[in-house]
Amino acid sequence: MTLRELVERHQIVISAGSGGVGKTTVAASIALWGALAGRRAVVITIDPARRLASSLGLETLGSEAREIPAAFFAAQGLAAPRGSLAAMMLDQKGAWDALVERHAPAEARARILQNPFYQHLSQTFAGSQEYMAIEQLCLLAESGAYDLIVVDTPPTRHALDFLEAPKRIGDFLDRKVVKWFVRPYFSAGWSALRAMNRTVGFLLRRLEQATGISALAEISDFFTSMSGLFENFQPRVERAYKVLRGAETAFVLVTGPEEQVLGDAEYLSTKMAELHMPLKGVVLNRVHHEYRPAGRGARRGELEPEDAEQVTRAVATALGGAAGEAGELAANFVDYQALARGESLRLEMFRAGLPRAVPVVQVPNFARDVHDLASLAEMHAHLFGGKAAA
């Protein structure tokens, strides 16, 4: 299968990978391709570069998906798509607040939004942002408004956090524990707790004294106000995994050619298999071009790309004898060649570890910022065109 067929056959495409590999750009490019091919596409972005955001019409923050008007395409040198392209930016805090708005009783909302425990949970709890991206994905999938949903994942050191987020949030909001916190006597203070477990009660009280915060009352208050929502949380987590593992969902791993990034990618693909979320495609992004002479080794006198002197001579001859410039140009070529050779060796090993059926495409390291729709479209030749690597 090719990446083209993969995107054609799936409703949901998730762009996964560690931070700084160009996930957002790849996600936007895939969604744009779908729209140009006649699909109703939407891309959920997390933290796009500003100029990319404005190319997608996302200058103002908003958790609503917005269709990119035809005028945007024309202004950026593209024909209006046969389908449509919408974009949204995940605003984590906004998404949690919306969840509260939807599920908490009106009189409790203000209290929840101001609860320090809630603020902590919605802003910094590990997995919280990832969970919200999945929650958004489920909502869009259920709305039936789109037939191609492309999700950019949050910039974590380990993309695995994304996959484990629903479980982690689910465990945290475990019904049994939450119920326990919701017991009315709990918010009354410590006396009740002491009766339950003297040791824990005593020590936690010391802890509260030491820190000077009354965490337990806040937790209790939060869960009491939100009980309606979290009673139903486990089914939400299950629904999230159903979507993530569904036949209509394709995980596409985006990675760069650097040692550490590839190491992360390898780990991720192994872990995904364990979690029954098969990796369906790989994009090797920002790869440097390696020069491979045709029929190398077969003919005598073939130029060796590693041989700076030979390259310098060839350049000097072509330039008509400007030795200084020729030396610099040749040295630059040899530098890039070393970089590219290291990358190609690592990528070869990485590919050998992937299941054969997984399509792998290679996108070159463009020496410019990819920020507008036209340059996103230029990636299509590498992602979906005849250049797709076998």
Partner 1 sequence: MPASLLERRLHFVVGKGGVGKTTVAAALALTLARRGRRTLAVDMEPGRRLAGLLGREADPRLSVLHVDGRAALEEYLNLVIPVKRLLATVFASKIYQYFVAAAPGLKELMTVGKIWYEATRSEGGGPAWDAIVVDAPATGHSLQYLRMPQAARETFGAGLVQREASKITELLRDRRATAVHLVTLAEEMPVIETLEMRAQLTGALGLPLGYVIVNRLHRRRFDPAAVERLRAAAKTAPAPEQALLRCVVERAAEESGWSDINAANLARLHAGIGEAPLVELPFLFVEEFGPAELEQVARLLEAGMAGGAEAAARQRSRSS
- Map the footprint of partner 1 across residues 242-281, applying CB under 8 A: 259-260
Q: Contact 237/167 with Cβ under 8 angstroms?
A: yes
φ and ψ at residue 184, rounded to 5 degrees: -60, -35
Residues 112-141 that bind partner 1 (CB under 8 A): 116-117, 119-121, 124-125
Q: Which of 53, 245, 30 is nearest to 150 (CA)?
A: 30
Cβ proximity to partner 1: between 70 and 331 the closer is 331
Residues 76-115 that bind partner 1 (CB under 8 A): none
Q: What residues between 16 and 35 interact with partner 1 by CB under 8 A?
A: 18-21
CB of 5 to partner 1, least distance (A): 30
Cα–Cα distance between 96 and 190 in angstroms, integer? 30
Give least dist CB 289 to partner 1, A.
7
Q: Do the beta carbons of residue 86 and residue 57 sit within 8 Å?
A: no
If one counts every other C-beta atom within 10 angstroms of the C-beta of residue 129, the result is 25
Q: At what angle do helices 215-231 and 175-182 cross, to 10 degrees?
A: 120
Among 144, 184, 297, 301, binds partner 1 (CB under 8 A): 301
Minimum CB separation of residue 52 from partner 1 in Å reads 9
Which residue, 241 or 291, is less far from partner 1 as judged by CB? 291
CB closer to partner 1 out of 77 and 293: 293
State the Cα–Cα distance between residues 178 and 230, nearest whole angstrom: 8
Count of residues near partner 1 by CB under 8 A:
76
Candidates 32-40, 87-95, 96-104, 299-307 — which segment interacts with partner 1 by CB under 8 A? 299-307
CA distance 189 to 34: 56
Binds partner 1 by CB under 8 A, chosen from 140, 268, 330, 358: 330
Q: Which of 5, 59, 101, 302 binds partner 1 (CB under 8 A)?
A: 302
> Which two tokens mark 322?
């400007």
Task: Write out the DSSP string of 151-209.
Answer: EEPP--SSTHHHHHHHHHHHHHT-HHHHHHHHSHHHHH-HHHHHHH-HHHHHHHHHHHH
Residue list 209-238, contact with partner 1 (CB under 8 A): 209-213, 215-216, 218-219
- Which residue of 67, 365, 378, 380 would you call a contact of partner 1, by CB under 8 A? 365
Residues of this chain, 166-195, that bind partner 1 according to CB under 8 A: 172, 177, 181, 193
**Smallest separation, CB 331 to partner 1 (Å):** 8
Q: Contacting partner 1 (CB under 8 A), which of 99, 138, 336, 380? A: 336
Considering only residues 279 through 298, tell me which ones interact with partner 1, judged by CB under 8 A.
289, 291, 293-294
State how far the Cα of 250 lies from the Cα of 170, in Å rounded to an integer.
Answer: 23
Helix, strand and coil in the chain, % to nearest 5: 55, 10, 30
Residue in the block written with tokens 């890039």: 336
Q: Which of 339, 354, 374, 377 binds partner 1 (CB under 8 A)?
A: 339
In angstroms and rounded to an integer, the radius of gyration of the C-alpha atoms of the chain is: 26
Q: How far is the CB of 8 from partner 1 (least distance, A)?
A: 31
The smaller minimum CB distance to partner 1, of residues 107 and 274, is found at 274
Q: Report, in Å, the least distance between residue 117 CB and partner 1.
A: 5
CB of 294 to partner 1, least distance (A): 7
| Closest residue by Cα to residue 279 from 381, 345, 351, 346 | 351
Task: Pick one of 35, 305, 372, 379: the residue that binds partner 1 (CB under 8 A).
Answer: 305
